[in-house]
Amino acid sequence: MESNKETFSTDLQLIGMSCVNCAAKIEKALNEVPDVKASVNFATEKAHVEFDPHAITPEILIKTIQGLGYQAFEVNSEIDAQKVKEIAAAEYRRDLHHFVISAILTMPLLLEMFFMFTRDHQEFIPRWVQFALATPVQFWIGWRFYLGSYHALKARSANMDVLVALGTTMAYVLSAVVIIMNWHHQHLYFEASTAIITLVLLGKLMESRAKGKTSEAVEGLVRLQPKTALVERNGVWVETAITQVKLGDKVLVKNGEAIAVDGVVVEGSSSVDESMLTGESLPVEKTQGSHVYAATLNQQGSLQIKATSVGAKTQLAQIIKIVTTAQGSKAPIQRLADRISSVFVPVVVLISVITFFATWFFLRDLQAAFVASVSVLVIACPCALGLATPTAVVVGIGKAARMGILFKDAKALELGEKVNMVVLDKTGTITEGKPVVTEIHGVSAISELEVLTLAASLEHGSSHPLAHAITMGAKDKGSVLKEVQNFNVVGGHGVEGLIEGVQYKLGRPDWVAGGGFLDKELITRLESQGQTVMVLATDERILGYVAVADRIRESSKKAIADLYDLGVQVMMVTGDNEGTAKEIAKQAGIREYKSGVRPADKASLIVTMKRQKKFVAMVGDGINDAPALAMADVSFSMSSGTDIAIETADITLMSNDLASVVQAIHLSKATLRKIRQNLFFAFFYNVLGIPLAAFGMLNPVIAGAAMALSSVSVVSNSLLLKRSK
């Protein structure tokens, strides 16, 4: 798709897929539509589609899918999500109903097989009764497999339906021919055809329940969203549907209630539990002017809030959208499984045909050849292979979201495992990002208040955390800021501007002084204490020094130690001077650091590390560090308030805590470990099962049971990620 074209994206719920080959077929068909880029996830049964809205509509996409024999509809809202649940529940009830009927009709045939082995091969149930029991199972309960096979073959592909339909039909037709031809000494295989269909249905039921549990994390977030809110209408608090709340409305949140919107506190004070967003268990104090977020829990007191974001614009709604999109994305490790699945069914059919003729040729036993051939068809289901990666991805990303860690996509989840070098920004990452003015020194007759006032006037136009510290310090002192003209930010150095006709500079000592006289003893003392020193000067002389300090987060030291324990190297990069950087690194337990690094140079530093064969993760605030975040192999962004740097970073940490970086790497490793276990099991199952079936060592009924349980075991193994710590 051309980059200059306008693109739109939507999610389509898919109905009727039986295995990963169905997903591959739908994905291929959608991508063949001009101006469309699609990804289909078999585990979530969704298609994420990007397209040119001027050339393509969702209706065209849905018709494309319907032409393949499947159903689809858009799912981009809570109403759509509820519709998905209702359809899934209806399908589950239908499948359960069919399974019960199929099991009841199959049970006598299995008993017949049992008695055949215990009563000298004497038939217990008359053959015409066996025929009557097997026929509705084969053509009514099993009709779905014929329909699926028809659409698959029509699209010149093959899926699990083809294998099941072919295997059970062979068993049924041979048995029917034996009855019609009255071959008394030939065994019937009705129990095989009916048992296979019954077991496949049982496997699908178990798989559906297990797959449903993989998305519990997102469903839990959705359930957190309040349905109503108390809104002020004409001076009266009225309970209003959340869909009717508008920007600027005043909302009342009572003690113990969930906050319904994102907003700013205009009256009241309380502590709010934000663990559902950040993963942090400690409540956060909220007073007038504080930001609050939808679905967080007001623990005490009452709050009046002015709504700043509602509905789909709230932070929770954005998180749900991000997590859902990430869960539907494909991890690079899945490519191998996709390639194998695309040719798997035709190869299995070929092996089945070869098995039939080879067994018949060498053993001269038509019955043995038939049994072996059917067993090959039945045991070789590609579902386990197709579920191995996406189920683990869905569970892993969902668990991360509940911990306040947002993975942008499955690729980010996979790459997190490979990190062996973490580069940390200092301010707001290792430190709290809330520096304060600690010392002010005026030169000659200039007072400390005058130095602070001039410095704050210059910094008033800057968004840097140090600038905020200075302006807040001046505000606390009651300073009246002066008007600044020709304001200019010199990246990595400082700021300058014209105040009352005089040109002033405020910034790094070496930049401001330009080789002039500096009180180096004072600067050295302040920097050795971990303080950042800024110098105020005119073109003619130095006026004063402003020292600002930022405290290290309590959790940073332990998180950095944990990274070292994981075998990950850690480096701090900062624009601060050598003295301050050295002291902060010492306090945080960081062995390697670089000082005096401008934002633009951080990206070059990361490129250098990558050339040294290091897999680099950059952790920053996602704004000033954007170039470095973009160049890193994996980027972590610390969120700050409502400004989540999702577009820049691969992974967003809602808690602003380095411990989340450790958790993200741990979870990435755990998820990839599960994926490899699943892939090994799926490959091992088929590598072992197909030869056993081909050599006549598996009864078709046992093969059917093994096939049904293989998918369930893969999904169940992925669900164990929920217990990962």
The pLDDT tens digits of the residues spanning 159-196 come to 778 878 888 888 888 888 888 888 777 677 788 788 88
Q: Residue 345: its pLDDT value, please?
A: 81
The pLDDT assigned to 115 comes to: 64
Mean pLDDT of the chain, nearest integer? 84
- Identify the pLDDT of residue 514: 65
Categorize the per-residue pLDDT at 642 as very low, low, confident or very high, splitting at 50, 70 and 90.
very low
Between 408 and 300, residue with greater pLDDT: 408
Instruction: State residue 2's pLDDT score.
Output: 45
Cα 610 to Cα 392: distance, rounded to the nearest angstrom = 29
Q: Which helix (H) or strand (E) holds 544?
A: strand 542-549
Question: CA 172 → CA 134, 166, 365, 377, 537, distances in Å?
Answer: 8, 10, 19, 14, 95
**Mean pLDDT value across residues 420-434:** 85
Judge whether 576 counts as a catalytic residue: no
Say whether pLDDT at 640 is over 70: no
17 with 151: CB under 8 angstroms?
no
505 — pLDDT class (breaks 50, 70, 90): very high
Asked whether residue 148 carries a pLDDT value surpassing 80, the answer given is: yes
Q: DSSP state, 258? A: B
Q: Which of 74-83, 235-244, 656-665 has the lowest mean pLDDT?
A: 74-83
* pLDDT, tens digit, 9 for 90 and up, residues 479-502: 889 999 998 888 778 899 999 999
**Residue in 11, 338, 425, 562 annotated catalytic:** 425
Pick 276 or 119 by higher pLDDT.
276
Handedness of CA 380, 385, 391, 392 (dihedral sign): positive
Identify whether the C-beta of residue 582 lies closer than 8 Å to the C-beta of residue 621.
no
What percentage of the chain exceeds 90 in pLDDT? 27
**Given this model, what pLDDT does residue 645 score?**
44
Buried residues in 430-465 as b, exposed as e (16+ CB within 10 A): bbbbebebbbbbbbeebeeebbbbbbbbbbbebebb
β-bridge mates for residue 292, sequence order: 263
Q: How confident is the model at residue 676 (pLDDT cuts 50, 70, 90)?
A: very high
Report the distance separating Cα 454 and Cα 498, nearest Å: 11
Round the CA-based radius of gyration of the chain to a whole number and report it: 33
CB-based contact 392:718 (threshold 8 Å): yes
Q: What is the pLDDT of residues 587-628, one digit of tens each?
A: 899 999 998 887 778 888 999 999 999 999 999 875 567 788
Instruction: Let me know: does 513 contact 537? Beta carbons within 8 Å.
Output: yes
